[in-house]
Chain A
Amino acid sequence: MEELILELKKEIIKVLNLEDMTPEDIDSQAPLFGAGGLGLDSIDVLELIVLLEKHYGIRLANAAEGKKIFTNMENIARYVSENRKR
C-alpha cells in the first residue's frame, strides 16, 4: 500500500502541476480539498478521474463520485487497490 501511495502522489503532483511539491510534502491522511489540504478544486477532481482511468482502468461516472474517493491519499490508494483493472 505504501508503494501505491507513493506512486499516486508522484502522479498527482505531475498531472495537477503541483510544482515545488514532493511526495513527502503530502500527508497521506490530510484532506486534499478545502483549506488545510492541497486546496484542490473542481477541475482537479476531473483531472484525477482521468488519472484513475488512464493508469488503473477505473471509470467514475461523475465528479460527485470522485469527490467521495478523493478525500485523502490513503483513501485513494485503498480505492485503487480494490478496483483497479490494470
Chain B
Amino acid sequence: MATILADNIISPLGSTTQANCQAIRSGKTALRHFSSGTDIRVPFPFTAALFSEEQKRAFAIDGYTPFESLAITSIRETLTTCQIPMDQRTCLLISSTKHEGPLAAQRIAQAVGIITIPIIVCNACISGVSALILADRLIEMQRYDYVIVCGLDLQTTFIMSGFHSLKALSPNECRPFDLERTGLNLGEAAATVILGKKPKKGAWYILASAVRNDAYHSSSPSPKGEGCRMAIEAVMSPAEQPALINAHGTATLYNDQMEARAISQSGLSRIPVNALKGYFGHTMGAAGILETIITMHSLDNQTIIGTRGFEELGVSGNINIIRDNTPTDKTSFLKIISGFGGCNAAIHIAKKLPPLKSKDNENKDRQILHRIVITPKKVQIDNETIDTKGQEGKDLLTHLYKTRINDYPRFYKMDALARLGFVATELLLQKEKETQGQQEHPQRAVIFCNESSSVNADRTFLATISSPENFFPSPSAFVYTLPNIANAEVAIRNQYHGETAFYILPHQDENIMQMLAEATMQDPFNKDLISGWLECKDEDHFQATLTLTTTH
C-alpha cells in the first residue's frame, strides 16, 4: 500500500494540477488543429495537444533539454507542496515511451536532488500506470520510503509519423467510445506524483494493481479484451461499487471496443466509465499518471468528468459511458490502460486504507532454474558453452534460430532487440523442457532491462522518414521502436499472460534488476519469471543475460 502525497500536471491547459482540473471541468480542451507552424514536420494536417512556444519557454531551464526541463519543473512543483528527505530511501521513476535515455534521467534526478539511481519505465502506453504500480510495490517491499513518479512525453515528427503509418490518428478531435470515432490525437504533458509509506489524513491510496499481457499481437489488442479483463478482475470484484472506471479511451476503433468488452465481461457494466483523451489527447508516458491525478481531484470535488467527444455509443458490450460532468459521493475508482505489446494495467485507488495484505508470497521459495548469456561471439546456457560454428553478431542469432528453433518464421519480422530476446528465451525454455518436461505457463511474467532502449529500431524507423521527398514511415519498423515489443514476442509465442515490462537503467545494475524481479513477484499471479538484461546497440552489438526463476 502506498499513500499518494502530492501531485502536479503540466499540460497545454496549465502548469498546476488545479489549473488543469478547472480547465477541463469547464469543458476546455488542449486539442488544436495544425496544418503547419509546429516543429512537427509531417505532410498531413493533424489535431494534437501541444505546448505553445510561450509555455515551452516557461518551463525551459538553462542547460537542460526541453524533455529534461519539463520533468524537472513538474517534479520541483510537486516538491513545493510535499517536502521529503532526499536520501537513499527516496527514488525516482520516469515513465516515458520516447524518453531521452538513462543519462537524461540521471540529470533530471540530480537536478531535483535525488541521490539514488533513477529507473525509466518504458512500457508503451501503460508506462504511467506501470510506474505507479512499481512505486507502490517498492514502498510495500520497504525498499524505499518515498518514490517520485514522473511521466512525460513531448511530441515529435518521429512519433506523429509512426502513429500516422499505423492509421491510428484522427484528423479531428478524438471521440472516445463514440460511433463516429476515427482515431486518437497525440498530446504533450508531464504528470508527477509523490508516493510514501505513511498514511495521511484525506489522502488517496493504491489498493490493488495488476499488469497482464494479451499474448495476442504486438500492436493490436486482443479483440476479446482478454488481458484487460484479467487485469480488471485481479483488482476488483463485480460486487464493488467504485465511483467510476477511468478508461484508456484513445478513440481508436479497436482500443475502445476492446475496453468495452473487457469491462462488461468483468461484470462492471453498471459502473460509470469516462475517458479524458478529448481534453489532453493521448499523452503517452504521462497518460496513466495524468488521468489518475485528474480522477482523484475530480472525485475530491464530488464530480465525474464527462467524456468530451462522446455522443452516441459506438462499441458493443453493455457499458455506461458518462458524457457530461456528473455528481458523485463515492471515493474510489478503477484506472485501466492498455498499450502496444499487448500489455494491460488496472489500478484500484481509493480514499481509504486498504486491508492488510497477506504476506504469503514473500515466504515463497524462489529458485533460478536456468540462465543464458548471449553475446555477439558466445552463447552459454547454465555453465555449458554452445558451439556457434564460428557465427558472430547478427548471423549468430539467425544461425541459432535456424539450427535450434526454425518453426516460427515471424522471427524474420522482428527487429534485432526482439530477435535477441526471442532466441535467448527459446533456448532457455528448451533447457527447461529438458529438465521439467513440456508444460504450459500462462502465469509467467517477462521483465527486461537495458540501457539503450530501442535505439537500433529507432534508426531503422528514422530512415523511412528521412526527408519530405522520401517520407514513407514504416508501420512495422515503428512498432519495434517500443522496446517492450520484445516482451510481447515472448508472451505471444508462449501464451504467457503474466506481467510484461521494460525498464531502462544507466548500466547493468544487478541489485536494481533483482529488486525489479522481486517487485514483479509481489503479484502472486506471476508464478514464475523470465527476466534480465536485454541490450542491443546495433545488429552486431548486443547482450542478453536472462534467467528463468520459479516459485514453489
Contacts and interface: CB of A to CB of B under 8 A. Distances in A.
Asked whether A and B interact, the reply is yes
Contacts of A43: 218-219, 475-476, 479
A41 interface: yes
Nearest to A16: B413
B472 interface: yes
A3 interface: no
Interface in A31-85: 41-44, 46-47, 49-50, 53-54, 62-63
Interface residue tally on A, bucketed by range: 10 to 19
Contact of A50 (B220, B413, B475): B475
B166 A46 contact: yes
Nearest to B412: A19
Contacts of B409: 18-20
Nearest to A60: B167
Interface residues of B, number: 16
Contacts of B219: 42-43
Chain B CB within 10 Å, residue with most, of A46, A53, A62: A46
Contacts of B165: 46, 50
B323 interface: no
Contacts of B479: 43
A22 interface: no
A13 B287 CA distance: 38
B474 interface: yes
Interface in B131-161: none
A54 to B, nearest CB: 5
Contacts of A53: 472
B412 A17 contact: yes
Chain A CB count within 10 A is highest, among B166, B218, B473, B474, for B474
A41 B220 CA distance: 10
B224 interface: no
A46 B219 CA distance: 12
B217 interface: yes
Nearest to A41: B217
Contacts of B476: 43-44, 46-47
Contacts of A18: 409, 412
B234 to A, nearest CB: 28
A17 B167 contact: no
Which 10 A/B pairs are nearest by Cβ-Cβ distance?
Answer: A19-B412, A46-B475, A17-B412, A54-B472, A17-B413, A43-B476, A47-B476, A50-B472, A42-B220, A62-B167
Given A16-B413, A44-B476, A46-B476, 17 more contacts: A17-B412, A17-B413, A18-B412, A20-B412, A42-B219, A42-B220, A43-B219, A43-B476, A43-B479, A46-B167, A47-B474, A47-B476, A50-B165, A50-B472, A50-B473, A50-B475, A62-B167
9 contacts: A42-B217, A43-B218, A44-B476, A46-B166, A46-B475, A46-B476, A50-B472, A50-B473, A50-B474
